[in-house]
Amino acid sequence: MRIRATRSDDLTDLADMWTELQEAGGRLARALGRGDFGQRLAEMAKYRNGRLLVAEIDGELVGMAFVLNQSLVPMVETVGVHVGFIHVRSAHRGRGVGKSLIAGVLDYADEVGAAQVSVAVDPNMRDANRFFARLGMRPLMTHRSTSVSVLRRRLAANGLRAEVAHDLNSRRRRFLGRSRIRAAMTRRSDREDGHEPAADAAGEERELPAPVSRG
């Protein structure tokens, strides 16, 4: 088995593996999209801050991995590498292709002086998650993703709900304020008419009953 950087004549095989990766389903596959992947792969092959690696057995490409040279956390100087995606063709799984690709990632990490390695894994892909867990890779953070249009709709809906809630609270405060003013005016009027309000068990002032005359 040989791990190497991709070449221009690999694009046909890479496109086939890219299609397999998308057909595997899952959130990551949906996020990869179904656009012009031929152009994308060609751009990845020339990416300066990363490398598109392939695994080759007897001249056949059996796996690929795209690794980026970037820190794991923004604003942190520690250099790291991130595996954006990794794929092994189904007919060649269980033969150490995945581990060989990770070894190629480590070689790239040594080349750029990276001290940390991270990998993107679909949370629903149990086999892949178990594979990386066995290699000692543990969850670091959760990346959540959605489309720009969905996020805009959610923000607009949340803003509308917040505006409605604010309006309802303002109305409630105004209503309670007017109720207190009316209650105060009623008590004042009662005092001026000669009726002394008394406090009930709950601390609320109430009007005393008129005396009953006995003949």
pLDDT at 201 over 60: no
Taking residues 16-37, what's their average pLDDT?
A: 69
Say whether 70 sits in a helix, a strand or coil.
coil
d(CA 84, CA 136): 18
d(CA 171, CA 179): 12
**Closest by Cα among 54, 113, 116 to 82:** 116
Against a cut of 0.85, is the pTM above it? no
- What is the domain partition of the chain in residue ranges? 2-145, 149-207
d(CA 85, CA 70): 15
Contacts of 123 (CB under 8 A, 6+ apart): 27, 129
Convert the pLDDT of each residue in 106-145 to its tens digit.
999 999 999 899 998 888 888 889 999 999 998 887 777 7
Which CATH superfamily, name and number, covers 2-145?
A: Gcn5-related N-acetyltransferase (GNAT) (3.40.630.30)
